[in-house]
Chain A
Amino acid sequence: MEKRILIVENDLEMEDIFKEIFSDNGEQVFFYEETDDILELVEKHRPTIVILDYNLNGLNGGELCKLIKGSEKHKHIPVLLLSAFPKFIYSNENVGNNAFLEKPFDVDELRTVVEHIINGSPK
């Protein structure tokens, strides 16, 4: 099944990288630097998984995650949060993300985590 991956990440450098990581298996990557309306993007791209960087201009990754998980229609879509800050910094806040990965990440680990949460077993 073709995976559709929606990514919001303010480091433009990462667009090519994500595309290369996920190109092998024919996944489709939709990359945005920032967004004010994540639900619109979700509606538009119907992603299999959403990968959000935490530090974004405008709404941050956590807030975007909360919006997705707050929507009855889209809350089933798994969300992976990424951040250069370690996870414990956000540990007081439950935004409903399915997984968290600290930057810099291991490419293989990223693939594994994505695979895992798509299959419904969060790491």
Chain B
Amino acid sequence: MDHQNDDLFKAFLQKTHVGLVLKKEALSFSIYVAGDNYLKITGLNREALIGKDIFDVEKDIFPSNILEVLERVLMYKSEAEISPFLLTPAHHSKSLYISIHISPVIDHDGGVEYLLYTVKDIDQEIRFANDRANRNYFMDLIEQAPVGMGILKGRDLVIESANNRMLELWGKNKSVLNMPMAIALPELEGQPFLRLLEDVYTWGEAMVGNEAKAFILRNGKLETAYFNYAYQPIKDKKGHTTGIMMIATEVTPLVLVKQKLEESVSSFRSVVMNAHYSLLVLKGKHWIAEIANQRLLDLWNKKKEEVIGLPLLQILPELVGQPFLEYLKTVYETGKPYGQEEEVFYFNTANGIGKKYVSFFYDPMIDTQGRVYGVIVGAEDITARVESRHKVERAEEMLRIAIESANLGTWHYDPLSKRLTVSPRLKELFGYKSNEEMTYDTVITQVTEEYREVVQKAIQSSVIKGEHFDLEFSIKGHYDQQLRWMRATGRIYRDKEGIPVRFSGILLDITEHKQDEIRKNDFIAMVSHELKTPLTSLKAYVQLLSSKAKASGDIQAMNSLSKADGQVNKMNNMIKSFLDLSRLEAGKINLEKQHFGLNELIAEVIEEITLTDRTHNISTGNSQKVMVFADREKIGQVINNLIGNAIKYSPQGKIVEVLCKEVNGETLVSVRDEGIGIPKDDIGLLFDRFYRVESRKFKTISGFGIGLYLSAEIIKRHEGQIWVESEEGKGSTFYFSLPHKDLIL
């Protein structure tokens, strides 16, 4: 090749894309031509290359195996390629990938003297391939992330990618990829998210949301879901937003739990506030009153602001020294609830220290770590209940003391089971040992014969008619056979249906009293007998004298003696009534009943009275003729007594009216006077023994106060009734009735 042609050829090669032209040397290759393109890529000067052996130039611009490759090309006269080769150019800090193509230049002899070494910048290509790999890796990460992730591109918010989790959250599948959000999730219309995304896109500002409520169409159903999310703008190099990266996690279960918790807290609060007993929630180690209902405030007598938010001991400093604090402490320490039925609660008031009885419980509130963080206090003011119980207890105690100190026996009889329960004292009274059982039947046989029937009847009528039971009777001791006098009182207790469930009462030993009474009655009997003895001779003398005066025609003596006889009768009647009384009280009056005309008896009594009293007009008005079955003598005594009283208590009044008639089969006798009448307060007591109306008006009127009592007793024994109607100053009417004849047998 001539020089001119050589220069031209070299210049041409320099401008072509061929990198280098290498020339075969003895042992190596030298650089014959270096193209502009090659210099540009490698950043080397041509002067540093031309004519140089390839091993004499800067290191690393040829691959390490370059000699081997060149020799092979030379030998086989075939092309070779090295790709990629990471070249570190001299002027660059950054390496770049190139591909190297080597082809032999075969001369006309078929030999090879020159090799074409062309390079191509494949840096972009290679790097792009690497990027792709990285990107795929990243995408895999995203795909498998447990949070929803997605990328939206462009202003239309096209879903460029969305990981599985995100698709799940949306309730969609991959078909939504490459669709704008608004189309992929049409349900978002009207919800704030699209608008937020647009804002992020527009303003390039990230945005996060917590527990945002969204309605999402999942599996064809619109569901309510809650999300935590972050929208992060993706920007290009110029800072323009090109897309949005979305990260979202669903927190629906959490939110629901939270809501439930809130609901239960609020329902707990309402339970507390509306509870029928005092409730208080104390929190923390200082026992801060967090919730307190009105009842608690009432119990403590505090206002709400004096309680809520304050430590317990500040609210009630008086609790120091009371047992509540210890209990509370224990509950905090052990986590075990504590309660007590009854405890005294002292509290400060404006007037000193108040006292209430409370029943209460402490329920610990325990956190997830098992620690007590608060206590629910429930309390009830049971003061009224306790006080009334104390009252009852006191009353019972007093009753017990009374029964014991009075040596009373008590008894309970269950009419249904016929079971008799008695106190030890009662057993003692009946002559039993305290461990022995007593039955109703044995008790009845122990009652002495004369009272047995009376007692049985009284019990029966008490059970049937609910009458109060009050009876005196004598019994024989079980072992000692000793006679004892008893007074038993009792009444029947019925349940709501009126069924007798318990017949109970007390038993009093009245033996001593009874013996006294017997002695007294014996004494009265003796006295009256002794008084009557002289009266008998006195009366006989008076009558004998009277008949003598009659014979001699001594009228004056006759009158006097007749009056004397009357006085003897009067005295005799007084003595008789005493005797009657004592007999009556000893229960020894027996009725001798017979059929007789009551009118006749009344007439007889009036006649007798008229003998000594001529100042009153005693009439029998429109009396009917009435036959009765009764003790003639005793009924006569009653009529005598009533007419006698009528005369005695009407010093001015002249009229006494005795009426007798039948009303509804009952015999009714009335004795009316126009006398001084009876004060209202005395009427009820009139038939009591020895009762006399205390008044100046009555002072001058003689009497023992036993007449009406005796009359009442006699009528009572006839199972009749006696009563009085009276108006002070106007007079009185005494009535007695005898029962229906059919009932008298």
Contact = CB atoms under 8 A, between A and B. Distances in A.
Contact of B533 (A84, A91, A108): A84
A20 interface: yes
Contact of A104 (B539, B583, B588, B590): B539
Interface string B589-607: 1101000000000000000
Contacts of B528: 84
B529 A85 contact: yes
A91 B590 contact: yes
B583 A89 contact: yes
A86 B579 contact: yes
Contact of A88 (B534, B535, B538, B592): B592
Interface in A77-98: 84-86, 88-89, 91-92
Contact of B579 (A13, A85, A106): A85
A114 B532 CA distance: 21
Nearest to B528: A84
A21 B540 contact: yes
A104 B540 contact: yes
A41 interface: no
Interface stretch (B201-209, B273-281, B485-493, B541-549): B541-549
Interface string A53-89: 0010000000000000000000000000000111011
B544 A21 contact: yes
Nearest to B532: A84
A103 B583 contact: no
Interface in B569-596: 572, 576, 579-580, 583, 588-590, 592
B544 A104 contact: no
Interface string B516-557: 000000000100110011111111110110010000000000
Contacts of A106: 539, 543
Contact of A84 (B529, B540, B541, B592): B529
B699 to A, nearest CB: 30
Contact of B536 (A14, A20, A88, A89): A14
B568 interface: yes
Say what secondary structure dominates the interface of chain B.
helix
Interface residues of A, number: 20
Contacts of A20: 544
A84 B536 contact: yes
A106 B544 CA distance: 10
B572 A104 contact: yes
Nearest to A110: B540
A85 B576 CA distance: 9
A84 B526 CA distance: 10
Given A21-B540, A107-B547, A55 B529 contact: yes
A104 B579 contact: no
Interface in A32-61: 55
Contact of B535 (A21, A91, A104): A104
B630 to A, nearest CB: 14
A107 to B, nearest CB: 4
B86 to A, nearest CB: 155
Question: How big is chain B's contact interface, by range?
Answer: 20 to 34
Nearest to B575: A84
- From A13, A14, A85, A104, name the one whose CB has the most chain B CB atoms within 10 angstroms: A104
A88 B590 contact: yes
Contacts of A85: 525, 529, 579
Contacts of A92: 590
A105 B572 CA distance: 10
A115 interface: no
A103 B543 CA distance: 14
B532 A103 contact: yes
Interface in A12-26: 13-14, 17, 20-21
A84 B590 CA distance: 18
A20 B529 CA distance: 24
Contacts of B572: 104
A55 B535 CA distance: 16
A107 B544 CA distance: 7
Contact of B592 (A55, A91, A104, A107): A91
A108 B544 CA distance: 9
Nearest to B565: A106
A108 B536 contact: no
A89 B592 CA distance: 11
Given A21-B544, A55-B529, A88 B589 contact: yes
B540 to A, nearest CB: 4
A13 B536 CA distance: 10
B500 to A, nearest CB: 37
A105 to B, nearest CB: 7
Contacts of A105: 536, 539-540
A13 B541 CA distance: 11
Interface in B672-694: none
A18 B642 CA distance: 36
A43 B500 CA distance: 69
B576 A104 contact: no
B547 A104 contact: no
A39 to B, nearest CB: 27
A89 B584 CA distance: 11
Contacts of A21: 540, 544
A11 B537 contact: yes
Interface string B145-174: 000000000000000000000000000000
B583 A17 contact: no
A97 to B, nearest CB: 16
Contacts of A84: 528-529, 532-533, 536
Given A11-B536, A13-B534, A85-B529, A104 B568 contact: yes
Nearest to B535: A104
28 contacts: A11-B533, A14-B536, A17-B540, A17-B541, A84-B528, A84-B529, A84-B532, A84-B533, A85-B525, A86-B579, A88-B589, A88-B592, A91-B590, A103-B533, A103-B535, A103-B536, A104-B536, A104-B538, A104-B540, A104-B568, A104-B572, A105-B536, A105-B539, A107-B539, A107-B540, A107-B543, A107-B547, A108-B543
Given A84-B536, A105-B539, 20 more contacts: A11-B533, A11-B536, A17-B540, A17-B541, A17-B544, A84-B528, A84-B529, A84-B532, A85-B529, A86-B579, A88-B592, A89-B588, A91-B590, A103-B535, A103-B536, A104-B536, A104-B568, A106-B543, A107-B540, A108-B543
Shortest beta-carbon contacts, A-B, top 6: A84-B532, A104-B536, A104-B539, A107-B543, A103-B536, A17-B540
